[in-house]
A and B are shown apart, each in its own frame.
Chain A
């Protein structure tokens, strides 16, 4: 661990006033900033409204290591645009010095070394310190908005059906939230929690399936700094497709652009001077939406877990990308006059857990939620010699561990593991605890199935998932990253149409091509179908680790990428 003064020249403060934000403005500011608690909290208030955004916490109440993606391909119109910039290109685009805290927080470059230098990020007790500090300064001007994917993703949240995160967030006091994984606790559980919340769960696109009528509140009006603000919620549009629809059988989602435009127009007609979309669409969907739906001033993006040090401006709409897993809090100060945004000032505040003090009230709440499970959480199951991470378009090493476990424990030829974006990282030499396994697997449909599939079906699945990620029209992208594959290699031509992206499928243990008409034993988890049978994935991984004791997983080289 390093002392606080080593964080010199590290802050992430970006501001752009009156006009389009451009890449590079960030650099000059970053270079003059120092990093201490005061400097992380430093922000000269601007204008009359402060929006604070946190999203995709995935139940990570404690500080974590979370490696940002080294590969995050944009297709079609967004090829090469933020957030589809990674690694060295990201550093160059935003003028970030290699090896700096900003480089560590925002990219995968030298991740292991920098993680040892700068320590874990996040921790909701540290987040509370930041939020409380902003609130102390701007209480009557401020809204705290939670972008969803808050209640799912840890051992404790799984054990309590999300209650731990509900209790924790109630200490943080958001003004509104929207949702995605929340619904995987079942629609009744969500309704029960929402009933208990002192703030609304908003979803302009959550409809009753039978009558096609709004099922949740879509807009909440607030008065802050003398400005009438409309916050409109937008839940993840493809919940019944990407997650098990049978868990929320009476609900329908979708982008519902027309409905959203009506709700924006209605908010304006009701006197809203500032319209904010609290969205879980994903960045590319929001980018397209901003070019088509008029009257939205700010979109607080989520779902795709992107962290950008500057807003992206599309027409008159500002898009913020506030990261995931509690690593960042976004603060956007706005000068709103005569129903218009006259200027803004933005800072993506990195939550360096070794720099920020923990808020005592929140720290006590987190301890309380974990106390009943502390023995199990800290139980060591194995050890890793290599960096384990998930985030990225293709296999991460954490997924390779899961695939290895599926191949071994379920005696399969081929393993499939979903391309989730959640799941923190583990550094080389770290013990792997029950908590760590659950941080990468905790969810409500964990059955590890074992089934026979012919080669054609396996290809069809890969083609389908690839199109859900690489369709050039973001409105047709429904999912997470590419399905992770164990025991099989393949080539993917990203820019080809569905049906012709995947080729060269090879069974790794024999070196033979996958035959469309031959049958293979396939094991996977997180099937969206009701009645899927098999042991929970965390038990499969634990059993594997208990036998292996130590794992050392090198970068997966069995997927070959082609562009153009």
Chain B
């Protein structure tokens, strides 16, 4: 799509570059990335809290925080990104809290997944959808 300056003004550079993707489905890449982290083990439900905005204020820098008491490590995946593995946090045995936050870039509306590895070698997960929108027209 060839963009005129006017179009860029209308849509905002960050979103225009994405050329609008209604929902970016989970790619095979995310399954691979998760399998690499879990060694293929299933991740169940558990005491893991993933906080993301429901709608991103800016898809280029979306805040994410995660908390999984007792976790050995926590990995965050952006299921619709070309490179889905966002970050892995490792916690030492003396860590007082098992929470972390960062910011990530999202290529359109998609699920964000957090998986925590527990001391017994099991895995637990949480997922939220984050919407990336053109915006405007609010009122």
Contact = CB atoms under 8 A, between A and B. Distances in A.
Interface of A: 181, 212, 236, 238-243, 245, 252-255, 258, 418-422, 449-454, 456-457, 460-461, 463-465, 467-468, 471, 475-476, 478-480, 483, 497-499, 526-529, 531-533
A527 B137 CA distance: 8
Contacts of B44: none
Q: Which interface residue of A212, A457, A461 has the most chain B CB atoms within 10 A? A: A457
Contact of A181 (B4, B12, B136, B139): B139
Interface stretch (B30-38, B50-58, B88-96, B114-122): B50-58
B23 A526 contact: no
Nearest to B130: A476
Interface in B4-23: 4, 6-7, 9-12, 20, 22-23
Interface string B118-139: 0000000000010101111111
Contacts of A245: 57-58
28 contacts: A238-B138, A241-B133, A241-B135, A252-B57, A254-B53, A254-B54, A254-B57, A418-B139, A449-B9, A449-B10, A450-B6, A451-B4, A451-B6, A451-B7, A451-B9, A457-B1, A457-B7, A460-B134, A468-B133, A468-B137, A476-B129, A476-B131, A479-B138, A498-B23, A499-B23, A526-B136, A527-B10, A529-B11
A368 B9 CA distance: 40
A418 to B, nearest CB: 4
Contacts of B69: none
A200 to B, nearest CB: 24
Contacts of A421: 139
B9 A533 contact: yes
Interface residues of B, number: 30
B137 A460 contact: no
B134 A453 contact: no
B138 to A, nearest CB: 2
A165 B136 CA distance: 25
A143 B54 CA distance: 32
A529 B23 contact: no
Given A242-B136, A483-B137, 11 more contacts: A212-B101, A241-B55, A242-B137, A252-B63, A254-B55, A449-B9, A465-B137, A476-B129, A478-B133, A479-B139, A529-B12
Contacts of A468: 133, 137-138
A117 B45 CA distance: 61
Contacts of B101: 212
Contacts of A419: 137, 139
A497 B23 CA distance: 10
A255 B57 CA distance: 12
Contacts of A258: 49, 51
- Listed from nearest, the 9 A-B pairs whose CB atoms lie closest are A242-B138, A451-B6, A499-B22, A420-B139, A241-B135, A418-B137, A479-B138, A480-B139, A240-B57
B41 to A, nearest CB: 28
A528 B12 contact: yes
A242 B57 CA distance: 9
Q: Which interface residue of B4, B57, B63, B101 has the most chain A CB atoms within 10 A? A: B57
Contacts of B63: 212, 252
A527 to B, nearest CB: 6
Nearest to B49: A258
Contacts of A479: 136-139
Contacts of B53: 254-255
B107 to A, nearest CB: 15
B54 A476 contact: yes
Contacts of A471: 131
Contacts of A476: 54-55, 129, 131
B139 A422 contact: yes
A460 B9 contact: no
Contacts of A181: 139
Nearest to A252: B57
Contacts of B138: 236, 238-239, 241-243, 418, 468, 478-480
Contacts of B135: 241-242, 478, 528
B34 to A, nearest CB: 24
A150 B87 CA distance: 43
A449 B6 contact: yes
A480 B57 CA distance: 16
B54 to A, nearest CB: 4
B52 to A, nearest CB: 9
B80 to A, nearest CB: 14
Nearest to B23: A498
B9 to A, nearest CB: 5
Contacts of B58: 240, 245
Contacts of B54: 254-255, 475-476
A301 B10 CA distance: 31
A480 B138 CA distance: 4
A532 B57 CA distance: 19
Nearest to B61: A209
Contacts of A533: 9
Nearest to B4: A452
Q: Which interface residue of A419, A457, A464 has the most chain B CB atoms within 10 A? A: A464
Given A245-B57, A254-B54, A464 B133 contact: yes
Contacts of B137: 242, 418-420, 465, 468, 479-480, 483, 526
B131 to A, nearest CB: 5
Contacts of B7: 451-453, 457
Contacts of A420: 137, 139
B136 A528 contact: yes
Interface string B59-88: 000010000000000000000000000000
